[in-house]
Amino acid sequence: MKKMMTAAVSLVAGLTLVACGTGDKDAAIAPLDKIKEKGTLVVATSPDYAPFEFQTLVDGKNKVVGADILMAEKIAEKLGVKLEVSSMSFDNVLNSVQNGKADIAIAGLSVSEDRMKVFDFSDAYYHVQDVLLVKKDGASSYTSTDSLAGKKVAVQKGTTQEVYAKENLKDASIISLTQMGEAINELKSGQVDAVLLDSPVALGYASQNKDLAVADIKFPETDANTKAIVMPKDSGSLKEEIDKIVKELVETGEYENYLKEVANYTAVE
């Protein structure tokens, strides 16, 4: 009987050690090695943000396209793995990198101090400004952020614009919405007075909606105007490899070409 008990204890101990070992082993795998082992790069994005990532109809089917998606394809190609684009609402994009469901996030993401505490960022691949999208017939009344007193300003939940608006537009009512398209619809229907968002996206909506315009208000330039790719903290060789690819795309003008290429697509909700 004693021998059987000893064997059982050894077996449990052995299994426990293996389990711990497996767990530690998985946690110890460098992000780049994990991606190469899987053979797939999972990229989290929120396809409601043309020209960076948005949905369009290709042969009657919804497809996620955009300059960021073309960049993701290039990164996967250079790493020698398949690309899996994981679409979700923007306020879930960073969580999916943090919980390991996605390897990286490319979603028109801006650099911010808060985010840098939790994630690694690639080198910058683009620069934008924060702008205010309003109804064209009232655009001239918006001359500074003081003009927003008493107004309803929509922002996308989880964005740097949401943080900026809540901290700086104290006299406005800040309405946080999950989908960018929802914010635009609320603006068009008069439910909100303005939408705060990235400049290229606002210009796209203004060009497709003759009743909308970008207000002539200058918002402060901060790190949040620099776009970069989000990776887990201390990504090491993954960051090194992605930075090399981003540097090439920026220096050759290839990312700018991606923006021109996707300008021909029409975004669908």
Among 159, 175, 187, 258, binds ligand ARG (CB under 6 A): 159
Return the number of the residue (32 or 159) whose C-beta is nearest ligand ARG: 159
Tell me the one-letter amino acid at 190. Answer: G
CB of 223 to ligand ARG, least distance (A): 11
Return the number of the residue (104 or 109) whose C-beta is nearest ligand ARG: 109
Q: Answer whether 154's CB lies under 8 Å from 86's CB.
A: no
Residue 197 forms beta bridges with which residues?
131
From the list 36, 246, 31, the residue with the least C-alpha distance to 119 is 31
Stretch that binds ligand ARG, among 10-18, 143-151, 156-164, 182-190 (CB under 6 A): 156-164
Return the number of the residue (46 or 56) whose C-beta is nearest ligand ARG: 46
Q: Answer whether 98's CB lies under 8 Å from 231's CB.
A: no
46 binds ligand ARG (CB under 6 A): yes
Among 31, 76, 85, 90, binds ligand ARG (CB under 6 A): 90
- Count other C-beta atoms under 10 Å from residue 147's C-beta: 18
| Sheet strands side by side (includes 194-198) | 173-177, 152-156, 194-198, 130-135, 212-214
Size of the site for ligand ARG (CB under 6 A): 14
Q: Answer whether 116's CB lies under 8 Å from 205's CB.
A: no
CB of 53 to ligand ARG, least distance (A): 5
Stretch that binds ligand ARG, among 5-13, 45-53, 144-152, 183-191 (CB under 6 A): 45-53
130 binds ligand ARG (CB under 6 A): no
49 binds ligand ARG (CB under 6 A): yes
CB of 160 to ligand ARG, least distance (A): 4
Q: What part of residues 166-225 is at the interface with ligand ARG (CB under 6 A)?
A: 180, 198
Among 55, 56, 96, 110, binds ligand ARG (CB under 6 A): 110
108 binds ligand ARG (CB under 6 A): yes
Tell me the one-letter amino acid at 173. Answer: S
What is the widest separation between alpha-carbon atoms in the chain? Answer: 90
Query: Could you report how far apart the first and last alpha carbons of the chain are, in Å?
Result: 69
Among 94, 102, 104, 109, binds ligand ARG (CB under 6 A): 109
Q: Are strands 130-135 and 212-214 parallel, antiparallel or unpaired?
A: antiparallel
- The Cα–Cα gap between 19 and 24 comes to 9
156 binds ligand ARG (CB under 6 A): yes
- The Cα–Cα gap between 269 and 48 comes to 7
CB of 179 to ligand ARG, least distance (A): 8
Taking the mean position of all CA atoms in its chain, how far away is CA 235? Answer: 18
Residues of this chain that interact with ligand ARG (CB under 6 A) are 46, 48-49, 53, 90, 107-110, 156, 159-160, 180, 198
